[in-house]
Amino acid sequence: MASQFRTARSQGRRTSTAKREIKKRLLVVCGGKKTEKDYFEALRDHFRSSSITIRVKTDSRSPLYVVRTAADLYRRSPDDFDECWAVFDVDRFEDVQESVTTAARNGIRLAISNPCFEYWLLLHFCDHAAHLRDYKAVKERISSHLPAYDKAGLRITDYTDGVRDAVDRARKRDEGQAPPGPNPSTGVWRIVTQMVPPPASVPAPRRGK
């Protein structure tokens, strides 16, 4: 009888250990000098998810350099991260396709925005599917929703209410598309969906007896 009791307890411990949440570790290398890094770090600090650790680096050169930087950092610390992401814009860069090929060769995941990262910010306020010429065109549309928009002074509280809507809108445009994706589109949702906890479920009302 005692041996059966020990077996049951040990099985219980194994079950609880298997169910224990494993923290995912992401390395994110951004092509922008400031906006992308500010956004990811502020979002991380705002939601404080216990299931993810994210480290953000920047390389403000062309997409190919961003991917190479990510690959180098990932290669030097293979045990420190579960995923490595390169975040960059299509904009007017000429090495985007080479960047996609290099990323695939080095196991780097891509979150590309076409035409620019600001399209991801715009999706927090509305669903926009029409072609966007460049950053200036995107900025004008953000400013219509957020008159105080300042690329150099991003306030995460302007975006947190719409972040789940942005994920849904971006997924609809991006999922199933080969990188770099159509204009407009963004793969940033693939990172953000791991950082933002699901909305709290509302308990069903009790039925009267």
Task: Provide the token pair at 152.
Answer: 């150099």
* Angstrom distances, CA of residue 203 to CA of 164, 197, 198, 199: 20, 17, 15, 12
Distance CA(191)–CA(32), nearest Å, equals 16
Task: Give me the percent of the chain exceeding a pLDDT of 70.
Answer: 85
- The average confidence (pLDDT) of the chain is 87
The pLDDT value recorded for residue 100 is 98
Radius of gyration (Cα) for the chain, nearest Å? 21
Task: Report the pLDDT value the prediction gives residue 51, as an integer from 0 to 100.
Answer: 84
Task: Classify domain 23-195 by CATH number.
Answer: 3.40.50
How do residues 52-89 score in pLDDT, each as one tens digit? 899 999 998 999 999 999 999 999 998 999 999 999 99
How many other C-beta atoms are found inside a 10 Å radius of the C-beta of residue 95?
15
Strands 109-114 and 185-186: antiparallel
This prediction's pTM: 0.84
**Distance of alpha carbon 182 from the chain centroid:** 18
List alpha helices for 20-152, DSSP H: 35-47, 63-76, 96-106, 118-122, 135-145
Would you list the domain boundaries of the chain? 23-195
Range from 4-18, 35-49, 66-80, 115-129 carrying the lowest mean pLDDT? 4-18
pLDDT higher than threshold 70 for residue 10: no
Give the side-chain half-sphere CA count within 13 A for 26. Answer: 24
pLDDT digits (tens, 9 = 90+) for 96-123: 999 999 999 999 999 999 999 999 999 9
State which amino acid sits at residue 10: S
Q: What is the pLDDT of residue 150?
A: 86
Q: How confident is the model at residue 33 (pLDDT cuts 50, 70, 90)?
A: confident
Q: What is the pLDDT of residue 160?
A: 96
Mean pLDDT of 196-206: 62
What was the pLDDT predicted at 112? 98
Copy the structure tokens of residue 112.
């590309």
Taking the C-alpha atoms of residue 107 and residue 40, their distance in angstroms, rounded to an integer, is: 21
